[in-house]
A and B are shown apart, each in its own frame.
Chain A
Amino acid sequence: MPAIVAKDLSFTYAGGDKPSMEHVNLSIDKGEFVILTGPSGCGKTTFCRCLNGLIPNFYAGDLQGKLRIDDIDVKGKSTAELATHIGFVFQNPENQLFSLSVERDVAFGLENLGVPREEALKRVEWAMQATGILALRKKAPYELSGGQQQRAAIAGVLAMRPSVIVLDEPTSFLDPKSAEEIVAVIAKLNRELNLTTLLVEHRLDVVSRFANRVVVMDKGEVVLDGPPDEIYSDQARLIGIGLPRVTMLFHLLRLDGFPVTKNPTTVEQAADELKRMLNP
């Protein structure tokens, strides 16, 4: 049973003259780590908002099609109801931390759900351990770095024990090193907890090593869906996706007429392939 199934999903924001997302058909299995990417305005944020009910509850408009999460029809469910199935981490760490201590912040969702104190404390402990922020528990969010804040946000979502986690460009405001660290944390959680993960990202060079599936959207539709080495193709380039530089290099070598057979998406793959090509 897939974790997320979208059938012919379309949405037009209220007052908009054309759909922001059209005829999206997507099926994501439990435990998959999927990258969702595409140029600005392609509809990826719109799609994510449908997943946890922000569309149509928070953002009014015309929503068509079917969407099931954990085999539950999302239609008619509020975001609060869906919060135990699907967690959402936003771009700006500042605007998703609510409390004056990390511990209380991680507990926030559980408190809202009315989880009894004993159980809540256990889960908070577990979530902070899983994201590596136990040492920061008493600190105030404003005392943390961007990367630490995002870890706290992830912990807060994790504590609610969703089976799916959606992260909308969580590395936007982070420096490169923190970006790599947070993506590694996300990948670790995906592996260890079998947590279905949908990561929206522009920085494909950072995330490609962790994902085995990339979905590309353009102008409101899904146009590419498959493993990175298949997706990072000419078509992706033309759409305007920022491919990893090593992939770009091999594309250039192919243009130059060299017998390039592989499409590396990480530095390791590229190094191996070049060694092979230079020492036949």
Chain B
Amino acid sequence: MSLRFVEGFKFTRMDSPIHRLDPRAKFILTLGFFACSLMFTNIYALVIIFVAQIPGVLMAKTVSRWLRSMRGGLFLGVFIFVMNVIFGTTIASSLAFMMRFFAIMSAFSFFFMTTSADDLGLALEQVHVPYSISFTFTTAVRLVPTMAIDAQTVVDAQRSRGLELDKGNFVKRIKNYIPILIPLIISAIRRSVELAEALESRAFGATENRTSITTLKMRVADFAVIIATIAGLAAAVYVYFYVSLPTLVIPIQIPRLF
């Protein structure tokens, strides 16, 4: 379960109109979906918001990965539903909250799947986030697959010494992770030291006025996306205040436990 969930946020290089969009435009779009999801508690509205993202997913050619991440998030979604019901929310509302979770998760997953860490870093730089922060972010993202490989190697090495991670009671299982965590942490530290040495040798931090050979340029498509997002938000606000949405009533009474 857990790994599929993470996969939904991993970037893959693909040639699609969505991938070619400026990350700033995409992020505004994502924020738009996010804001709309927070605004509504009505299940029909939330379903529409969720479904509205699907054309984008299709255009980005990432359908199977997106589906996998949705499946990965199923556990959490159902958890939200069950928790809400237990604590007294109506079934209809609980469904709505679950839908909201999926709408938000889908929006962010979609953003990260179609935006490379480098482009993200560039976007952050160009909105004047301090370089040290944006660089930390992109390096961390870049290191995730590397460290995942390290983690697998450590697990393999310790299993080869007889460590059995799937045996024993709860306490034993936790203790069994010490021979995994320590080498992993130490490897990470060693790697960071080597990276830091290399950074220094490439004059990292030499000047406040860093230049960049690539700059992100907003094109027509990006502006179109931003305008569409604003329009969509405006429409959502209008619907929220002036349109009465049908409500879903599920005539099942859950005995109040709390």
Our verdict on whether A and B bind, yes or no, reads yes
On A, residues with C-beta under 8 Å from B are 52-54, 57-58, 78-81, 83-84, 87-88, 90, 92, 94-96, 98-101, 103-104, 107-117, 120-121, 124, 140, 142, 156-157, 160
Q: Provide the residues of chain B in CB contact with A54, threshold 8 Å.
A: 197, 200-201
Interface centre among B146, B196, B199, B202 (most CB of A within 10 A): B202
Question: Are the CB atoms of A79 and B118 closer together than 8 Å?
Answer: no
Question: Are the CB atoms of A111 and B194 closer together than 8 Å?
Answer: no
Which among A100, A103, A112 is the interface contact of B202 at CB below 8 angstroms?
A112
Question: Are the CB atoms of A80 and B204 closer together than 8 Å?
Answer: yes
Question: Are the CB atoms of A100 and B203 closer together than 8 Å?
Answer: no
Interface residue count on the B side (C-beta < 8 Å):
29
B191 within 8 Å of A by Cβ?
yes
Question: Are the CB atoms of B207 and A98 closer together than 8 Å?
Answer: no
Question: Are the CB atoms of B210 and A112 closer together than 8 Å?
Answer: yes
Given contacts A95-B191, A117-B212, contact A160 B198 (CB under 8 A): no
Q: Provide the residues of chain B in CB contact with A92, threshold 8 Å.
A: 194
Main secondary structure of the interface of A (DSSP, over half): helix
Question: Are the CB atoms of A80 and B118 closer together than 8 Å?
Answer: no
Q: Provide the residues of chain A in CB contact with B142, threshold 8 Å.
A: 98, 100
Q: Provide the residues of chain A in CB contact with B13, threshold 8 Å.
A: 140
Q: Provide the residues of chain A in CB contact with B201, threshold 8 Å.
A: 52, 54, 79, 83, 87-88, 90, 96, 157
Question: Are the CB atoms of B205 and A80 closer together than 8 Å?
Answer: yes
Q: Provide the residues of chain B in CB contact with A83, threshold 8 Å.
A: 201-203, 206
Interface contacts beyond A107-B213, A112-B202, A157-B202: sample of 18 additional A-B pairs, CB < 8 Å, sorted by A: A58-B196, A79-B200, A80-B200, A83-B203, A88-B201, A90-B194, A92-B194, A98-B142, A98-B202, A103-B213, A104-B213, A109-B203, A112-B203, A114-B206, A114-B209, A117-B213, A121-B213, A142-B145
Q: Provide the residues of chain A in CB contact with B205, threshold 8 Å.
A: 80, 112
B253 within 8 Å of A by Cβ?
no
Q: Provide the residues of chain A in CB contact with B206, threshold 8 Å.
A: 80-81, 83, 112-114
Question: Are the CB atoms of B203 and A113 closer together than 8 Å?
Answer: yes
Question: Are the CB atoms of B211 and A110 closer together than 8 Å?
Answer: yes
On B, residues with C-beta under 8 Å from A are 13, 116-118, 139, 142, 145-146, 191, 194-207, 209-214
Given contacts A80-B206, A100-B118, A101-B118, contact A116 B200 (CB under 8 A): no
Q: Provide the residues of chain B in CB contact with A98, threshold 8 Å.
A: 139, 142, 195, 198-199, 202
Return the 8 tightest CB-CB contacts between A and B, nearest first. Answer: A96-B198, A80-B206, A83-B203, A109-B202, A95-B194, A79-B200, A100-B118, A114-B207
- Considering the chains assembled together, what is the distance between the CA atoms of A38 and B201 in angstroms? 24
Q: Provide the residues of chain B in CB contact with A116, threshold 8 Å.
A: 211
Residue of A nearest to B200 (CB): A79
Q: Provide the residues of chain B in CB contact with A111, threshold 8 Å.
A: 210-213
Question: Are the CB atoms of A108 and B202 closer together than 8 Å?
Answer: yes
Residue of A nearest to B191 (CB): A95
Question: Are the CB atoms of B202 and A114 closer together than 8 Å?
Answer: no
- Considering the chains assembled together, what is the distance between the CA atoms of A117 and B201 in angstroms? 21
- Considering the chains assembled together, what is the distance between the CA atoms of A113 and B213 in angstroms? 12
- Considering the chains assembled together, what is the distance between the CA atoms of A3 and B210 in angstroms? 29
Question: Are the CB atoms of A124 and B213 closer together than 8 Å?
Answer: yes
- Considering the chains assembled together, what is the distance between the CA atoms of A40 and B212 in angstroms? 40
- Considering the chains assembled together, what is the distance between the CA atoms of A110 and B207 in angstroms? 11
Which among B118, B198, B199, B210 is the interface contact of A114 at CB below 8 angstroms?
B210
